[in-house]
Structure 1
């Protein structure tokens, strides 16, 4: 694993295929380790965050939102895309407040998730939040979602039963389980400028 040169591809050229309001799709010509060439089509993504927000009674904040590509209402943790130049924690604070109305006293960075490594550069930062205070939501125009709470056993049952199939929410449930079981630790901070550096998952 220390030397992966026999696996790496080198980009030779890039062609832009689509630049829409949400998606930026490119096609790269790459040189393979064998020196042959191939093409790779994928989505350039600015990154995103997901928030696992814990109430004082250990319930978590969830959303129900219609996802048009799958034509289905999904159960998800609050999440959203980074704005240009926006820090990860600032995005997490903003998305939690805008979508659910909650603000948090303490935050902890948990880890990162690459949900679609074969066709997107998207990386989702996973944040935990606690010490919640409920205020007014500020949904984007055209955004419609329900906010509700659930216990970890309820969420696990939905994951096992297929009611939850969203990849980031499945991963978030695993993180939540390990944190609640004391297997993985979190470094909580109330500082607005808290960094993702030095966070332990032990």
Structure 2
């Protein structure tokens, strides 16, 4: 990034090490040069990325999941999502995850964008897709995966968010994107599956 207008903000890697490598998390500790010449340590997680799907039923309701999330110690309400496999195209991942987790396939897909949910300690990017023209099939859950499907209206989700009952960051961003699209502010380009 040398020579850019942001150069006065950029930290530069001096040395790096892997602290832990697990199933899909890669924890790193780097020593960096700060813009003022001092040094600092940065600990962060490398993540392969993920896809979240906002599945729209024909009647306006949304397909959601209730799933126990161990780090939170409780069941969370979320849009369907899943980790990208190595080299996997995000749309293919979204189609696979929607089918596996919900049993639904979609006739049309629209890419909204990407969100970075924990920029202080992770490089994870979550691609946001919208899916409509849903057809129900059988779930194909991974071994050890347990979730419950529910449907909600946009107003119900908005109320749950306002009451602090729905707190998952990716789901809140999905709801925001959905509301902005419905208001005509954030357009989506729909493509056949």
Q: TM-score range by the shorter chain?
A: over 0.9
Q: Which runs of 4+ in 1 moved over 4 A?
A: none
- Residue 3 of structure 1 aligns to a residue whose secondary structure is coil
**Alignment TM-score, normalising by the size of structure 1:** 0.92
Per the alignment, residue 85 of structure 1 pairs with: 87
Deviation at 1:21, TM superposition (A): 1.4
Aligned partners of 1:183 and 1:59: how far apart in 2? Answer: 20
- Residue 92 of structure 2 aligns to a residue whose secondary structure is helix
Deviation at 1:162, TM superposition (A): 1.1
Deviation at 1:37, TM superposition (A): 1.0
Structure 1: unaligned runs, 5 residues or longer: 193-202
Aligned partners of 2:189 and 2:25: how far apart in 1? Answer: 34
How big is each residue's C-alpha offset from its partner over 1:126-178, in whole Å with a ceiling of 9 and x where there is no partner?
00000100001110100000011110000100000111000001111100111
Deviation at 1:182, TM superposition (A): 1.5
Aligned partners of 1:28 and 1:78: how far apart in 2? Answer: 33
Aligned partners of 1:45 and 1:70: how far apart in 2? Answer: 19
1:147 counterpart (132, 140, 149): 149
Aligned partners of 2:38 and 2:47: how far apart in 1? Answer: 27
Structure 2: unaligned runs, 5 residues or longer: none
RMSD: 0.9
- Residue 115 of structure 1 aligns to a residue whose secondary structure is coil
Per the alignment, residue 36 of structure 1 pairs with: 38
